[in-house]
């Protein structure tokens, strides 16, 4: 599978950055300063790749706050090369995952058919999912100068409040599994949206399966950005 290059124009990017997300209570494990710094180098287009076709209809304002602007110039090119390399490695090691290069970041989508599996109404990380997440953790260890956003979603079947909690538990389960593999918890932000942000048609079984997903966004941290600026002379 080829990495998907998601090119989104600046007008749309500007629109995303000013959206106010108002619904679910969702950002975990960070004080306000940490929330502002954890994903400081990624563009707002990452929001569209994670949330899907309902951008602006729900969500959480703090999620927008942790995603900053795209790094431009030569520094941005250097960051892009590093992220391209990481995206290619994820693609090669986890062929079932959907891997997108979006602005300065990478978005990996796992649904029920692509390597991270949850039984109905369950959120434990089962053996099949462990194999995938072990590979992902290995890649993260090779690229320490990145931060990671984990976002959980469900389909529309069942009670909305229950689905919100289920998406929270699944996202947290993925985050906790990865940090238990030795990755710093300071690299992670966890978010969840329940059934509020579908990317596929919930009226079909196939669409519902794809909406039961966990997204992982990988974004350059402050060190990577500063190193790139120094290397480029910016």
Report pLDDT digits (tens) over 71-96. 777 888 888 889 899 999 999 998 77
Under the banding of pLDDT at 50, 70 and 90, the label for residue 69 is low
pLDDT at 134: 94
Find, among 108, 154, 152, the residue nearest to 133 by Cα.
Answer: 108
Residues whose CB falls within 8 Å of the CB of residue 112, separated by 6 or more in sequence, listed in order = 118, 209, 210, 212, 213
pLDDT at 174 over 80: yes
Report pLDDT digits (tens) over 1-39. 445 444 433 333 333 332 323 233 333 433 333 333 334
In terms of average pLDDT, the best of 119-133, 181-195, 200-214 is 181-195
Greater pLDDT, 137 or 230: 137
Q: Beta-carbon neighbour count of residue 145 at 10 Å? A: 16
pLDDT at 64 over 90: no
Q: Please say whether the beta carbons of 50 and 217 come within 8 A.
A: yes
Q: Which domains does the chain have, with CATH numbers?
A: 4-232 (3.30.1330.60)
């Amino acid at each position: 599978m080829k990495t998907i290059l998601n090119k989104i124009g600046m007008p749309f990017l500007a629109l995303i950055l000013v959206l106010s997300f108002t619904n679910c209570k969702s950002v975990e494990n960070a004080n306000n300063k940490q929330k502002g710094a954890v994903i400081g180098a990624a563009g707002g287009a990452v929001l569209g790749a994670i949330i899907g076709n309902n951008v602006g209809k729900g969500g959480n304002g703090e999620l927008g706050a942790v995603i900053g602007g795209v790094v431009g110039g030569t520094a941005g090119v250097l960051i892009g090369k590093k992220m391209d390399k990481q995206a290619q490695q994820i693609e090669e090691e986890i062929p079932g995952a959907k891997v997108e290069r979006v602005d300065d970041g990478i978005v990996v989508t796992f649904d029920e058919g692509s390597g991270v599996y949850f039984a109905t109404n369950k959120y434990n990380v089962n053996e099949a999912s462990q194999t995938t997440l072990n590979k992902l953790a290995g890649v993260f260890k090779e690229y320490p100068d990145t931060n990671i956003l984990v976002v959980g979603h469900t389909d529309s079947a069942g009670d909305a409040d229950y689905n919100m909690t289920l998406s929270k538990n699944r996202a947290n389960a993925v985050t906790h599994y990865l940090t238990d593999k030795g990755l710093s918890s300071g690299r992670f932000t966890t978010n969840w949206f329940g059934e509020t942000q579908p990317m596929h048609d919930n009226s079909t079984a196939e669409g519902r399966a794809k909406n039961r997903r966990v997204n992982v966004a990988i974004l350059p941290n402050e060190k990577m950005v500063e190193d790139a600026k120094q290397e480029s002379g910016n």
